[in-house]
Amino acid sequence: MADTSRLLQEMNDRSREVFRRVVEGYLANGDPVGSRTLTRDFSEKVSAATIRNVMQDLEYLGLLDSPHVSAGRIPTQLGLRMFVDGLLEVGTPDEEDRAQIDATLGSNSNDVAGILDRVGSALSGVTHGASLVLAPKHEAPIRHIEFVSLAHDRALAVLVFSDGHVENRLFQPPVGQTPSSMREAANFLNSLVEGKTLSELQGTIKAEMKKRRQEIDALAAELVESGAVIWDGEDDYPERLIVRGRANLIGEKGQAEDLERIRTLFDDLERKRDIADFLELAEDGDGVRIFIGSENKLFSLSGSSLVVSPYMNSDRKIVGAVGVIGPTRLNYGRIVPIVNYTAQLVGKLISDRS
């Protein structure tokens, strides 16, 4: 990809203004911007022909594109990236937007999951996009683990934490489990869990299984391994992702191909494909990050943009993220401060309740 900062520096004032006005016009209404439109309120007196020549140069650089021969120009993905990185002016959320987010977080409830669900709905409503909230994993030490059989192909792992928090997680147990093998598996795990968080327990289980496999029944060993996957690796991410506002991505102008792209995006989200990378996207840099189209493989087919910001706990450790999905012509100047503001408030909420 071309160095957008270098391209921006090499452009003269006229080219920079033409480029900025084309992008801002496109983001405002989604339509191509023509040369005659630009000449009406351009900062200097120039002809439409001069503007067209500048637009052709910008198209040659890969920053603009013309969807039809006789139409105006729209920014390319590279052009949007250059605009976001070098020309975007970001302020603060307006009072009404802040009030809606504040009202969501004003609850005194200790149900963090419920509050984050409402945050997702509020963020979707304020931005008119689809919201993503990645909830934090519970990292308190574990006090006790139980396995409960629900059916021949379904079991429940009950996790009791030292702070009184309880989580119930469904999983598929190995075939042939008996009440005694389930008790044996739970006893084995409880002999290891004292004082350990889930993340700390993962490595301990694997190491102990190698040393003590002969000490427990084969069925119990299988149950420990199959039960462990509910807190080991990417299978833990799907439970923690909250998605709200699917309908917001389908506007009145939605064409069949746009609907198909949106359907593809949400199929991926619902299958939780690549969601294990979602938090890593936020951890790669401080503050709000913007991913446009194919810059993130999760959104490459849908042609969507993602504005995402991490939030931290009281130890300044990144534990989750909030974000907004929308078309590439998002109002970035408005969305970015809203996402940043929401992430800061969620971080404070998590810290206050930890």
pTM score of the predicted model? 0.71
Contact at 8 Å (CB) between 39 and 31? no
In the predicted model, is pLDDT for residue 136 greater than 70?
A: yes
Whole-angstrom Cα distance, residue 173 to residue 177?
Answer: 7
Residue with the larger pLDDT of the pair 72 and 236: 72
Give which of 307, 293, 315, 313 is closest to 340, Cα–Cα. 307
Integer Cα distance of 346 and 340 in angstroms: 10
Q: How many residues does the chain have?
A: 354
| Other Cβ atoms within 10 Å of 143 Cβ, number | 17
12-52: per-residue pLDDT in tens? Answer: 999 999 999 999 999 988 889 988 888 887 878 888 899 99
% of the chain exceeding 70 in pLDDT: 73
> Taking the mean position of all CA atoms in its chain, how far away is CA 43?
39
C-alpha distances out from residue 342 to 36, 93, 193, Å: 40, 10, 35
pLDDT, averaged across the chain? 78
Say which residue the tokens 């040369």 belong to: 35
Question: Quick one: pLDDT band at residue 257, thresholds 50, 70, 90?
Answer: low
Residue 90's closest CA among 343, 340, 350?
A: 340
For the chain, give the percent of residues with pLDDT over 90. 19
Give the ranges where the chain is alpha helix by DSSP (H): 4-10, 13-29, 35-39, 48-60, 77-86, 95-105, 112-127, 179-193, 198-212, 218-228, 237-240, 256-270, 278-283, 332-353
